Amino acid sequence: NAGVTQTPKFRILKIGQSMTLQCTQDMNHNYMYWYRQDPGMGLKLIYYSVGAGITDKGEVPNGYNVSRSTTEDFPLRLELAAPSQTSVYFCASSYSDRVFTFGSGTRLTVV
Amino acid sequence: EDKVVQSPLSLVVHEGDTVTLNCSYEVTNFRSLLWYKQEKKAPTFLFMLTSSGIEKKSGRLSSILDKKELFSILNITATQTGDSAIYLCAVSAYSGAGSYQLTFGKGTKLSVIP
């Protein structure tokens, strides 16, 4: 059982480039989330989804976009990378509001 | 705006010490409070608390929730170097339209020295 799988694990982007962070879960969870974690700042919610075709903004959505075409996949898109988006990104999923399962994270550096 | 505050933000103890980590919260439509341990990578689940006064235990770790005073504590007894990590407190709340969100505190960085 793979759980939540994130790719890539590391990435360096130049300012203005775009990329997609991939997230896949195999637990048939309806809820999926993207968080970013900055040093000493805890995790902040970027976007979340309550099911295929339904997404909504979290606390820090600016500069990001998401889509949820299937239950399993919840990619996060950065269109014009900025240094402020340097962070560690975690995808998570849950069945309802109970225990969240996290992916192993993507460390992104924008230079 | 939902808020979760953890204290202390960092803590250094010697092996064998007992530590207490604190988490207070202000959220609307509270559902549960969760504790996670984060070492190098993703947070790993420790406890979920939904009812006041019922202690959850796992080995040397225990946690309790006070829904009246809006706080929780995480206790670690006989600390070991392997307990060194960031401990995250998060509160799950109903956010409308059938959805739930986790709001995280900034975490407590625990360092256990031999």
* % of chain B at pLDDT higher than 70: 98
Q: What is the pLDDT of residue A91?
A: 96
Dihedral of the CA atoms B50, B34, A32, A105 (nearest 10)?
A: -170
Q: What is the pLDDT of residue A15?
A: 96
Q: Is B53 on the interface with A (CB under 8 A)?
A: no
Task: Work out the minimum CA distance from B34 to partner chain A, whole angstroms.
Answer: 8
Contacts of A58 in chain B (CB under 8 A): 101
Distant-in-sequence, close-in-space partners of B22: CB < 8 Å, separation ≥ 6: B6, B7, B8, B71, B72, B73
Q: Is A98 on the interface with B (CB under 8 A)?
A: yes
Q: What is the pLDDT of residues A57-76, one digit of tens each?
A: 888 999 999 999 999 999 99
Least confident residue range of A76-80, B11-15, B19-23, B53-57: B53-57
Region A75-96: mean pLDDT is: 93
* Residue A110 reports pLDDT greater than 90: yes
- Which among A42, A49, A58, A61 has a CA at the least distance from the CA of A93? A49
Contacts of A102 in chain B (CB under 8 A): 42-44
- Which among B62, B43, B46, B44 has a CA at the least distance from the CA of B54? B62
User: Which of A28-32, A36-40, B2-6, B77-81 is the most confident on average?
Assistant: B77-81
CB contact under 8 A, B42 and A45: no
CA triple B38-A13-A107, angle to 5 deg: 5
Task: Work out the minimum CA distance from A76 to partner chain B, whole angstroms.
Answer: 17
* Residue A36 reports pLDDT greater than 90: yes
Task: Work out the minimum CA distance from A18 to partner chain B, whole angstroms.
Answer: 24
CB contact under 8 A, A33 and B102: yes
Residue to test with chain B: of A90, A97, A104, most B Cβ within 10 A: A97
CB contact under 8 A, A98 and B105: no
